[in-house]
Amino acid sequence: MMNFKNIFRRHLLVFLLLFVASGQTLAATKLLILGDSLSAGYRLPAEQAWASLLAERWQKLSPPIAVVNGSISGNTSAQGLERLPALLEQHKPDWVLIELGANDGLQGLSVEQMENTLQQIIQQITQTGAKPLLMQIRIPPNYGKRYTSSFEKVYSTLAEKNAIPLLPFYMEEIITRPEWIQQDGIHPTVEAQPTIADFMETQLKPYLVPSAK
């Protein structure tokens, strides 16, 4: 005589294993953006900033990519470092995009200190098992060739030292379109945000979606 109780248990076990496997397959990759006003969407509704536009697109992927925008306007690299532990603990990201340093440069802060701070950020990220992505930041030339050159070199030095990706600065494309820059001469307008989202999607997807390489 068949033991229906044992058959039921086997079928239930198979169902649970399939359910767990399916959940693992569909689990979202999570990207944390640690940035300043360039990623926060300065003077723009949050939903119109490039990070929000990208998050909306990537929720439609299968599996989806979750984007957490941990950017705050005005943040220096030191302020980003101060906020990082709580962000890592709360969101437990798989990847972290580091978009910091512009305010250090605009305030003429020590390049050496900024480099040290960004190095600490990279180390904290890797210690949690997440993978860092570093964005190249550039500042206007009126800060002097020596300072500007030293500032910009920090990013390639850190990327090489830590063997992490260095992503190009999207503002280099935006700045050529005066109509895409706010009256402060620094921040992108709302009209520029979809183009920035396109650019960042192209740059980020090969790392977050291996099949896109």
Residues marked as catalytic: 37, 184, 187
Structure-block tokens of residue 210: 């291996």
Q: Cα angle vertex 173, ends 184, 189, to 5°?
A: 35
Nearest Cα residue to 32 out of 66, 79, 82, 77: 66
User: Across-strand partners of 79?
Assistant: none
Spatial neighbors of 194 by CB under 8 A, at least 6 apart, are 50, 53
Q: How far is Cα 201 from Cα 50, in angstroms, rounded to an integer? A: 10
Structure tokens at 126: 């890797």
CA distance 206 to 187: 27
SS3 60: coil
DSSP string, 119-143: HHHHHHHHHTT-EEEEE-----GGG
